[in-house]
Amino acid sequence: MKKADRNKTGIVFNVQKFSVNDGPGIRTVVFFKGCPLRCRWCSNPESQLPKIQILHDSKKCIHCLHCIQICPAKAITATEKTLHINSTLCTGCKTCAMQCPAKALETAGEVKSVNEIINTVIQDRVFYEESGGGITLSGGEFLTQPDFAEELLLAAKEENLHTCCETTGFARVEIFDRIIPYIDYVLFDMKH
C-alpha cells in the first residue's frame, strides 16, 4: 500500500466525535463539502456547495449592511428583509463573517489537511479499540473530493483505524473503484 500524503487538503464542514450512528462502534465522522445531488430532504444542506460558503442568520441580523460595504467580491446584496450571498461571486474569504457586529454571518466549511484530521481522529483511539469503531467519511458526498478522501483513508489505514463511509455512490466508476479498497464498511444511501 502506498504512503499517505498527509499534507493533502480538502474542504470539510464538520468533524464530529463520539458518533454512534455512522457505522459500527464509536466513530469520528468527517463531513466533506460538496454534493452533486440537491435532494429536497438533505439533512446537511450546508454541505452541498463544494467550497467554503457564508451562511446568514436573519434572526441575528441587525441589517446594518456593513457586510455589503466590506465584501471584497461584492457578493452580498440586501432586500428590505434579508441578505443574499451570491455563492458564485463569494470567494469564502470570511471577511464579512469576521466583521459582522451581530454575528449573523458564519462560515460553513474550512480547508483541512489529512494530518490535521487524522490527529483529531486518533485522539479517541482507545474508544475505537473498545467499541470496534473508527473513522467515517460522510458529507455531502465524500466522493466529490476523491484525492483528499484517498489520502485520508490511506492515513487511517497507516494508523490501523477501521474505515467506513456514507455515500450515495454518485461518482464515476473509476473513482469508486479507486477508493473502495480502503473502506472496511459502506453505508450506501439509496436515492429514489
Quick one: 116 exposed, middle or buried, by C-beta within 10 A (0-12, 13-18, 19+)?
A: middle
Intra-chain end-to-end CA distance of the chain, in Å: 36
Quote the pLDDT of residue 72.
96
Residue 47 vs residue 192, higher pLDDT? 47
- Asked if 9-45+110-188 and 53-108 have one fold, the answer is no
Domain 9-45+110-188 has CATH 3.40.50.620: no
Q: Is the pTM of this model over 0.75?
A: yes
Q: Does the pLDDT value for residue 82 go beyond 90?
A: no
Read off the pLDDT of each residue in 103-120 and give the average, rounded to a whole number. Answer: 96
Q: Mean pLDDT score of the chain, rounded to an integer? A: 94
Quote the pLDDT of residue 192.
65
Q: What is the chain's length? A: 192
Decide if 143 contacts 176 (C-beta within 8 A). yes
Quote the pLDDT of residue 1.
77
Task: List the chain domain ranges.
Answer: 9-45+110-188, 53-108
Query: What is the 3-state composition of the chain as percent helix, strand, coil, each rounded to the nearest 5?
Result: 30, 25, 45
Read off the pLDDT of each residue in 10-23 and give the average, rounded to a whole number. Answer: 96
Cα(32)–Cα(151) distance, integer angstroms: 14
Please give the CATH number for the structural domain made up of 53-108.
3.30.70.20
Q: Does the pLDDT value for residue 42 go beyond 90?
A: no
Decide if 33 contacts 51 (C-beta within 8 A). yes
Read off the pLDDT of each residue in 68-72 and give the average, rounded to a whole number. Answer: 96
Q: Enter the DSSP assignment of 2.
A: P
The sign of the torsion formed by the CA atoms of 137, 142, 145, 147 equals: positive
Q: Helices marked H in 15-99 — which ranges?
A: 66-70, 95-99
pLDDT (tens digit per residue) in 121-168:
999 999 999 999 999 999 999 999 999 999 999 999 999 999 999 999
Over pLDDT 70: what percentage of the chain? 99
**Residue whose entry in the numeric block shows the C-alpha cell 435532494:** 39
pLDDT band, very low/low/confident/very high, at 38 (cuts 50, 70, 90): confident
The alpha carbon of 127 is separated from its chain's Cα centroid by a whole number of angstroms, namely 23
Residue 8 C-beta-side C-alpha neighbours within 13 Å = 17
Widest CA span of the chain, in angstroms? Answer: 58
Q: Does the pLDDT value for residue 11 go beyond 80?
A: yes
Spatial neighbors of 54 by CB under 8 A, at least 6 apart, are 76, 85, 90, 92, 94, 96, 97, 105, 106, 107, 108
